[in-house]
Chains A and B, each alone.
Chain A
Amino acid sequence: MRWGMAIELKRCVGCYECVLACKAEHFLPPDIFWNRLLIGEQGKYPQVTKLIYSVRCNHCADPACVKVCPTGATQQREDGIVWVDEDKCVGCRYCMVACPYQMRSMYEDGKSQYFPGQELTEHEKIGKVLYPHMPGVVTKCVFCKERIDAGLAAGLTPGVDREATPACVISCPTKAIHFGDLDDPNSEINRVIKEKHGHSFHPEFDTQPSISYID
């Protein structure tokens, strides 16, 4: 089993819903983004193409971050999900330096809040209880492993059942993001990648990402 995503670039309208859904799902502090939108342009007037890429940790099959981590805090599960054990991270930032996609962040200021000088919002208060983030450690997308694990335990299928699927996937209003098991030849995600010619983002980095993009 290896979880992966396929993102259809022509369907993405750049609404940032995936970014916000991730923020809400994981109660991410200010300035911490587990996924982002990269927006650029290619070509010259009048033939200009707008490029919008929804990016996050690629959960690479050959991840540079896992190799360089001196403590073993950055780990890869059997299902391919790369995650950081907060209790082991020393904060050396080698993984942040080594990631060619720059999809890792250091959560430094444990007291940061969305509205400084005012009371924490209800969402922030709940987040401190439900999903506390440890200051001084590296943080990143975990493919919503909590949703996947709980879903599998309940007999659900990630990528098919909403409750077992990552927040960014289910929140996408144009259904541009597909999720599923890359090791299952009959999965929907493999069908989409095959039929629509999905490709890795910057395969020259040679890390074998689990996320494919479809032009």
Chain B
Amino acid sequence: MSTIKPFDFMVKYQQQKDWIDGRGNFIAFAFFLGGIAGGLFLAAAYFDNLLGIFIAFLLTGLMGVSYMLHLTHPMRFWRMMSKPGTSWIARGFTFIMLFGFFTVITMILMQWAPDATAAITTFKVLAGIFAFAQSIYTGFAVSYVSAIKIWNSAIVPILFVTCGISGGLAILLAVMMGQDSTNIAALENIIRVVLIAFAIIVAVYLWNATYSSTAARDAVIRLIGGALAPLFWIGVFLFGILIPVVISVTTYWVHDASSGLLIFAVVSEIIGGLALRFAVLKAGVYTPLLPAE
């Protein structure tokens, strides 16, 4: 096909910009914050860490703020629960509200009624269900878009939730280091497993995308060798996978790793998680409407 066109709208592969440019940046932040907030709650609930649960609640609040900044009419936000039957954004908004509600009750019980173990467990489980839902729905919201082939994959929700859990575990590690917790070794073991799983899922996702369609393959090429390569290789691979994995594996043998090194791994993991959301959203391209050669 000739390169000379009156204009290129939907004649070439067209990058989606509605969820990445301008206000669209805020939805990438919202997806990231929702993911790590959910992951942090699950990890903190497992280790019975009230501060971790509180930070997860705060991060969910920040997610809400980021969502509001994304909307052009934020005062109508209450309408966003109108259609949970078909819209993942509506479902997600409901999950966020319910997660916040059950988390507040859980925190109140843990702080002021620590003997009510049955009630604490009940609300912790309820909040945990919605924490997981909050973490994974962002992936479903993206993967539901059949128009963008690299998004339209069943692996995306798994990728997002794994990334959220790894980020949440990293934040909990920082929290527990500050508290001199005795559970740090156990947490580190979980982080090692999750990080390796995350790396495998990223690789499988990209490999799978190259076989799904030409639009998805084009997006993968842009990610690993095109305009998005710095974001992918530095943000996702270096910060999100390589540095945390190297530090995690190193600490497996060197038991007295410095806290500075672990904090660096935590920060690196968080940067990687954010970079992943941006990379996936930026990689989305629409199939041209006119037949290409």
Contact = CB atoms under 8 A, between A and B. Distances in A.
Contacts of B286: 100, 102
Interface string B276-292: 00000000101101110
A201 B71 CA distance: 31
B73 A136 contact: yes
A40 interface: yes
A88 interface: yes
Contacts of B93: 70
Interface in B81-98: 81-83, 86-90, 93
Interface stretch (A89-97, A146-154, A175-183): A89-97
A56 B253 CA distance: 62
Contacts of B6: 39
B260 to A, nearest CB: 41
A201 B6 CA distance: 21
A106 interface: yes
B141 interface: yes
Nearest to B144: A68
Interface stretch (B14-22, B199-207, B266-274): B14-22
B88 to A, nearest CB: 7
A69 interface: yes
Nearest to B22: A108
Contacts of B111: none
Which of B79, B87, B93, B147 has the most A CB atoms < 10 Å from its CB?
B87
B72 A70 contact: no
A98 B18 CA distance: 10
Given A97-B16, A106-B18, A67 B73 contact: no
Nearest to A101: B289
Contacts of B86: 66-68
Contacts of A102: 9-10, 14, 147, 286
A92 B71 contact: yes
Interface in B56-112: 70-74, 76-77, 79-83, 86-90, 93
Contacts of B88: 68
A94 B11 CA distance: 22
Contacts of B255: none
Contacts of B80: 70-71, 90, 92
Given A97-B16, A100-B286, A202-B289, A72 B79 contact: yes
Nearest to A39: B6
What interface size band does chain B fall in? 35 or more
A38 B16 contact: no
B282 to A, nearest CB: 13
B18 A93 contact: yes
Interface residues of A, number: 43
Given A42-B293, A64-B146, A106-B18, A70 B90 contact: yes
A137 interface: yes
Interface string A174-203: 000000000000000000000000000110
Contacts of B89: 68, 70, 92, 94
A36 B81 CA distance: 33
Interface in A14-53: 36, 38-44, 51, 53
A41 B73 CA distance: 41
A205 B146 contact: yes
A61 interface: no
A82 interface: no
A174 B90 CA distance: 45
B18 A96 contact: yes
Contacts of B70: 92
B73 A72 contact: no
A66 B27 CA distance: 20
Contacts of A69: 83, 87
Residue with the greatest number of chain B CB neighbours at <10 A, chosen from A88, A90, A102: A90
Nearest to B287: A100
Given A68-B86, A99-B147, 16 more contacts: A38-B289, A40-B11, A53-B289, A55-B10, A68-B144, A70-B79, A70-B89, A89-B73, A90-B73, A90-B76, A93-B19, A97-B16, A102-B9, A106-B72, A136-B72, A201-B289
19 contacts: A38-B11, A38-B289, A39-B7, A39-B11, A40-B1, A68-B88, A68-B145, A69-B83, A69-B87, A71-B83, A92-B27, A93-B19, A97-B16, A97-B147, A98-B146, A99-B147, A101-B10, A202-B287, A205-B147
- Nearest 10 pairs of A and B residues by beta carbon: A91-B72, A136-B72, A100-B147, A70-B90, A71-B79, A40-B290, A70-B89, A93-B18, A67-B86, A70-B87
